[in-house]
Amino acid sequence: MNLKCKQCNRVFKKSDDIVTVDNTENHFHDGCHIEYLLNCHLNTTWSLDELEDALDEDYFASERKDFYA
């Protein structure tokens, strides 16, 4: 059986650490699982200064308002 990682699509080797998600429906290399989780959520990369500015300006208030509208 040639099982493949859902994230990178490479075939698993005997030496790979494999993470399963949703019982055994989705399989990932241990490192690829982190990438998968990051892609499942709305993520933004900020510098510390940018994040502090966004929090000061209540950047997220408009995001929350749009989300709950």
- pLDDT class of 10 with cuts at 50, 70, 90: very high
Beta strands in 17-68 (DSSP E): 18-21, 26-29
CA quadruple 42, 46, 51, 48: dihedral sign: positive
Q: What is the pTM of this model?
A: 0.54
State both tokens at 58: 């209540």
Domain boundaries, given as residue ranges, for the chain? 18-68
Report the pLDDT averaged over residues 34-54.
Answer: 78
**Cα–Cα distance measured from residue 20 to residue 23, given in angstroms and rounded to the nearest whole number:** 6
Q: Which residues are bridge partners to 26 per DSSP?
A: 21
**CB of 6 within 8 A of CB of 26?**
yes
